Amino acid sequence: MISIFKRCVLFSPCTLTLLSVILLINNNQVSASSHPVSPDFRAMSTNSLVTPQWLIQNLNKVRVIDATYMPADAYAAEHIPGAAHYAFDSAYFKSEYIKFDLYPPEVFQKYVRLLGVNNNDQVVIYSRGPASGMMFASRAYWTFKVYGFTNVNLLDGGLDAWKAAGGSTNNKVVIPDLGNVDIRALNPDILANFEEIPFNHFAEKKVDYLDARVPAQFTGQDPLSSTYPGTKATGSHVTGAINFPIAEVIGPNGFLSQQEVDAKIAKLGLTAGNQVYVACNTGIQASVIFTALERSGIKAKLYNGSMTELAYRAPELVNASGN
């Protein structure tokens, strides 16, 4: 496996682009007394975002990773100087029911070491494209955290925001020195698997299940069969799910302010003490919601299998439609 990764890194500029981690800062904070989300949630608030201006000033102090997934040649054409390419097709594998499945920690460790990540690095991740550049970056951010690497942040607004702030780019191939990062066991506090989620029993099991797909998919206006041909599911979402699409937390320049997101979360009716799960189609959009919830102080688990797994493994659970 390590030799495969080396070939990807050394001979394919599009495949090697991993971006690095940044220090944890808490900005955009409001007092607990004025916070629309319960103080029980607020105590866990973590802001993962850094601004382009901050990164411009600290570029030489952090490990930058470009997590662009589409288009395939985007990284090779242009990236932040020194950014390594985090290639989704190398960082994950497709299993029977999961499109972006997680490797054992020792395998992922080999990959991120090839990206030059060290134990003491501050890693800052960015991407470009959908959701103001935050969709694939958020997935990479969650992945680092699920493997136990916590000194990681996101560049708010992605590459477009970086360039708008006067940040430079180039197309120089980046081949980092081998890193020494130690990857730990998968963190069950932010990762959920199919077996643990009490489908059809959310209320009695004290669960809030957020579905980050677009409303048309959630309600069934866009039939599930159009995304998952051959599924035997009769509905468009699982019973008890709450639709919370990424458009609720993302604006034209990146994440909406924490105050705006807090207000939207407050309207969801989440219950303090409940276990919150986030899901979508493949776990990508759910990572954006995970990041927004984290900033607002709500601890959540991302269901990596999401609808891709449910549609074929347990279609009988996809038994509700409409709002």
What is the residue whose two structure tokens read 């643990």? 196
**Interatomic CA distance for residues 279 and 52, integer angstroms:** 29
- Contact, 101 vs 304, CB < 8 A? yes
Rg, C-alpha atoms of the chain: 19
User: In the chain, how long is the greatest CA-to-CA distance?
Assistant: 55
Alpha carbon distance 174, 81 (integer Å): 9
In which residue are the tokens 């955009």 written? 28
CA quadruple 160, 163, 168, 171: dihedral, nearest 10: 30
Instruction: Give the closest residue to 280 by CA, choosing from 237, 248, 320, 313.
Output: 237
Residue among 280, 298, 302, 310 flagged as catalytic: 280
280 is known as an active-site residue: yes
Residues 17-51: b if buried by 16+ CB within 10 A, e if exposed: bbbbbbeeeeebeeeeeebebbeebbeebbbbbbb
**Active site members:** 280
